[in-house]
Amino acid sequence: MCGIIGYIGHRPAVPILLEGLKRLEYRGYDSAGIAYIQQGKLKVIKSEGKISILEEKVFSNDPLHTTIGLGHTRWATHGVPNEKNAHPHMDLSGNICVVHNGIIENYTKIKESLKAKGIDFRSDTDTEVLVHLISEEYSKTQDPLTSIRYCLKQVQGSYAIGVMFSDRPKELWAAKHSSPLIVGIGVGENFIGSDVPAFLPYTKDVIFLEDEEIARLTTEHVDVYSLNTGDKIKKQIKTIPWDISLAQKGGYKHFMLKEIMEQPRVIFDALAGRVNYKTKRILLNELNDLGIPDKIHIVACGTSFHAGFWGKYLFESLAKIPVEVDIASEFRYRDPLIRKDDLVVVISQSGETADTLAGLRMAKEMGSKVVGICNVVGSSVARESDKVLYTQAGPEISVASTKAMCSQMVVILLMALYFAEKKNLMEPDKHNQLIMGLKDLPNILEKELPKTREIAKELSVMYSFARSFFYLGRGLNYPLALEGALKLKEISYIHAEGYAAGEMKHGPIALIDPEFPSFVIATKDHLFDKVVSNIKEIQARKGPIICLTNPDVKVSANHIWQVPDLGGILTSFLILPALQLFAYETAVYLGKDVDQPRNLAKSVTVE
């Protein structure tokens, strides 16, 4: 949600800023802009719409080889998406500019106070109060650190900001609170970014800014200060284990397709070092001193919530641990009952999801241990959890999450098996079969994905007429039905709802007619006959059905789609990409913007 890139160094800054903004497009945006210092003056160029529009404006201005600059992609919160509300924002003197991710909650009060002092606002954004507050203090002190501290002590809410002063062309400033911002450490150059891919081609060495920290970047140094005291803070440089090739399309038409097809490697990487296939044991050393919880609370949003919901079935069936699963935005406000021997598991691909982080912090305040499941090394979830299990999926660029859920499911399954082993609950044959099935899973999926895509492509054309869809499943397949519906609606814009199949007759079945298809997951498990009964109820009302099932089962539907039966749990890892590919191919056939669907942001870092 919004993207920041900043550069100071020895290269031409403008191409780096534009390249960085393109690498942040997946976060979602509706306008963009850059600022740079040229011959002692700040130059700001911004536009509504795609970065390509901004790029045309930039190069028509023929920027000189400036070596310092800021770039921003905006996802509108305060003020409609247009050029005047795009970032960067400048003070009235034209000496200071600011880019900002987040929301300033008390901006109205601050704005009225500044207007009473004669400040004329040029936008409708909350961000503009920041640049005027900094300017107000800078006119008195001529000190950037003092001015930024003065500003940020007055605001409430969340922010990640980049700041430039035209009379200080060898300094770039940044600060954060409850919104991600990372400093990239290069050789003779340094960067700021709201996410690692912004500067990944140039460096993998980073400093993770904590809340209420301010950074000063020059070409050779990065100094970090406390917002509260102004004192310098010693920071550790960490290395991100991502390869730039993982953040590129690699010949695929869309990042989403690439990331779906990467899932065999994702499973292999998530298992690496965590399973001893010789002894058939799970190795999650991160959890060794946690003990066995009396109860698990899973907290997440969107696709991560569906992964957690899927995990509920595993923790309860394999490890016999009761589980509550909460949407993070509900958990943080519902006054949950968490006991001292409970465990809270928070799940977030980015590790920066605002509601999930708020739930994490609330759980810790209540005295609970927290395990974070996330993909981004050094993210807020990773830093603030008592223990962290990295999913090791590599950068996920498409807004619609795919391989992230796959990797989360692997880690959740390993956790459930880990606790089951600790409690000596699983029958040895079943346990060993599952462990060896995990070992074979990447190769099986690698072989199945091309066939799965071809079927998805055929069916997407046949069902592209639909304006609404039901996705139905029972047991482990119910969370997957929810995820299938989410994928279809977020990238094809076809309305879709996921239901527990048994709930159809409790109201939703009223919508079924020949123009209203259902996508039913009916795998060979103990609930198969129940799902077949639900299918017959739909057929009696002439509703078209796609049935995703296994070979050697008897079921009737308009279109039968078969995936191998891997024995219950592991079959989920074949169902998931089938659902993803059906949504993908439908969106492609309908001509939608697959990687950047309208109104959506990759990482929701504001409430």
Q: How far apart are CA 109 and CA 129, in angstroms?
A: 10
Number of structural domains found in the chain: 3
Residue 559 phi/psi, 5-degree rounding, is: -140, 120
Q: Average pLDDT, whole number, for the chain?
A: 90
Structural domain range at position 327: 246-426
Q: Please answer whether residues 377 and 238 qualify as being in contact, where contact means their C-beta atoms are separated by less than 8 angstroms.
A: yes
Q: Per-residue pLDDT tens for 200-238?
A: 889 989 998 988 999 999 999 999 999 999 999 999 998
Q: Please answer whether residues 524 and 565 qualify as being in contact, where contact means their C-beta atoms are separated by less than 8 angstroms.
A: yes
Specify the higher pLDDT residue, 23 or 438: 438
403: tokens are 């391989």
* Stretch 259-271: mean pLDDT: 94
DSSP SS3 for 313: helix
* Stretch 84-99: mean pLDDT: 92
Percent of the chain residues topping a pLDDT of 90: 66
Give me the pLDDT at residue 314, please. Answer: 97
Whether 266 has a pLDDT exceeding 90, the answer reads yes
Q: How far apart are CA 331 and CA 370, in angstroms?
A: 14
Give me the pLDDT at residue 379, please. Answer: 84
Q: Is residue 566 part of a domain?
A: yes
Query: Which single residue is written with the structure tokens 């002692």?
Result: 40
Sheet with 369-374, side-by-side order of all strands = 323-327, 295-300, 342-348, 369-374, 387-390
Q: How far apart are CA 330 and CA 140, in angstroms?
A: 45
Give me the pLDDT at residue 22, please. Answer: 85
* Stretch 286-308: mean pLDDT: 94
* Stretch 395-410: mean pLDDT: 91
408 and 490 together in one domain? no
269 and 165 together in one domain? no
What does the buried/exposed string (b/e) look like for 528-557 if buried means 16 or more CB atoms within 10 Å of the residue's CB? beebbebbeebbeeebbbbbbbbeeeebeb
Provide CB contacts within 8 A for 511, sequence distance 6+: 468, 470
Query: Which single residue is written with the structure tokens 């001893």?
Result: 276
Whether 191 has a pLDDT exceeding 70, the answer reads yes
462: tokens are 């046949």
Whether 243 has a pLDDT exceeding 90, the answer reads no
Whether 61 has a pLDDT exceeding 80, the answer reads no
Q: Is residue 375 part of a domain?
A: yes
204 and 294 together in one domain? no
178 and 280 together in one domain? no
Residue 134 burial by Cβ neighbours in a 10 Å radius (0-12, 13-18, 19+): buried
Type of residue found at 307: A
Q: Per-residue pLDDT tens for 428-448?
A: 888 999 999 999 999 999 999
* Stretch 6-15: mean pLDDT: 94
Catalytic residue list contains 602: yes
Q: What is the DSSP string of 10-23?
A: SS-HHHHHHHHHHH
The pLDDT-based confidence of 376 (bands split at 50, 70, 90) is confident
CATH number of the structural domain spanning residue 56: 3.60.20.10
* Stretch 487-515: mean pLDDT: 91
Catalytic residue selected from 2, 97, 301, 406: 2
- Of 187, 215, 240, the residue at which a domain comes to its end is 240
296 and 382 together in one domain? yes
Q: Is residue 90 part of a domain?
A: yes
Give me the pLDDT at residue 238, please. Answer: 87
289 and 409 together in one domain? yes
168 and 226 together in one domain? yes
As beta bridge partners, residue 226 has 213
301 and 207 together in one domain? no
Specify the higher pLDDT residue, 252 or 358: 358
The pLDDT-based confidence of 195 (bands split at 50, 70, 90) is confident
Provide CB contacts within 8 A for 548, sequence distance 6+: 519, 520, 521, 522, 523, 561, 563, 575, 578, 579
216 and 275 together in one domain? no
| Least confident range of 31-35, 460-464, 572-576, 600-604 | 600-604
Give me the pLDDT at residue 1, please. Answer: 57
- Of 185, 211, 240, the residue at which a domain comes to its end is 240
Q: Is residue 603 part of a domain?
A: no
178 and 317 together in one domain? no
Give me the pLDDT at residue 414, please. Answer: 97
CATH number of the structural domain spanning residue 400: 3.40.50.10490
Catalytic residue list contains 2: yes
| Least confident range of 146-155, 175-184, 237-246, 257-266 | 237-246
Give the residue ranges of DSSP H helices in 236-365: 255-261, 263-271, 302-318, 328-331, 354-365
pTM of the shown model = 0.74
- Of 198, 214, 240, the residue at which a domain comes to its end is 240
515 and 422 together in one domain? no
Kindly state the DSSP code that residue 593 receives in the 8-state scheme. -
Q: Per-residue pLDDT tens for 107-156?
A: 899 999 999 999 989 888 888 999 999 999 999 999 999 999 999 999 99
Give me the pLDDT at residue 76, please. Answer: 67
Specify the higher pLDDT residue, 477 or 377: 477
Whether 250 has a pLDDT exceeding 80, the answer reads no
Q: Is residue 331 part of a domain?
A: yes
Q: Is residue 607 part of a domain?
A: no
Catalytic residue selected from 22, 258, 403, 602: 602
295 and 164 together in one domain? no
Give me the pLDDT at residue 391, please. Answer: 94
The angle at the Cα of 494, spanning 492 to 496, to the nearest 5 degrees, equals 120
